[in-house]
Amino acid sequence: MTWSTGSERIHELLEAGELEEVEPSPDVARRLLTDAEQHLASARTISGAGDLTGAYQLAYDALRNTAAGLPAAQGLRATSRGGHIAVQEAVIAQFGDGARVFRAFGRLRRNRNRFEYPGDAASEPTAEDVDDALQVASEAADKSTTILDRGVLGPWRS
């Protein structure tokens, strides 16, 4: 079985060296989801303690791990050249129509960068920013779990 949804964009990312083929691994995907769930729990805890920047970063990392798990199950991984953006583009190309939550990935990534590399006091997340990131990351984890549980992902073949 070969996964065809979003294949044109995946080919482009592979050709540009932003993604690479690896051994398909549902186990790696599950480990990334487990890590994401732990990040979400930690983010909720430290958010309640007032560390909003740390909470936002953990929520974003949960989203990134969740998103990276789906390509991992197919035998795809972002390279250092492609990084977070390649993961974002891969999941949007393949799952954006059925799991619209992945379309928020870019917004959360840009905000995380702004919060992590602040230029002024306005670059700090609010409680609403953290709540939004937690909601998006939680929904993405649920969608990824559903996709993996259905066993519909075939290995990627370029």
Identify which of 89, 80, 83, 72 has the alpha carbon closest to the alpha carbon of residue 33.
Answer: 72
Q: Spell out the per-residue pLDDT of the chain, length 158, in tens.
A: 455 778 889 999 999 999 999 999 999 999 999 999 999 999 999 999 999 999 999 999 999 999 999 999 999 999 998 888 899 899 888 887 666 788 888 889 889 988 888 776 568 899 999 999 999 999 999 999 998 898 767 666 64
Tell me, yes or no, whether 33 lies in a domain. yes
Please, which residues have CB within 8 angstroms of residue 75's CB and are 6 or more apart in sequence?
Answer: 21, 22, 23, 24, 25, 155, 156
Kindly state the tokens that stand for 142.
Answer: 């649920």
Tell me, yes or no, whether 121 lies in a domain. yes
- The reported pLDDT for the residue numbered 1 is 41
The single residue listed with the structure tokens 């991984």 is 77
Q: Work out how many domains the chain is built from and give that number.
A: 1
Tell me, yes or no, whether 157 lies in a domain. no
Domain that holds residue 56: 7-147
Tell me, yes or no, whether 143 lies in a domain. yes
Tell me, yes or no, whether 29 lies in a domain. yes
Q: What is the CATH number of the domain that holds 36?
A: 1.20.120.330
Tell me, yes or no, whether 153 lies in a domain. no
- The reported pLDDT for the residue numbered 3 is 56
Tell me, yes or no, whether 125 lies in a domain. yes
Decide: 117 and 42 in contact? Cβ < 8 Å: no
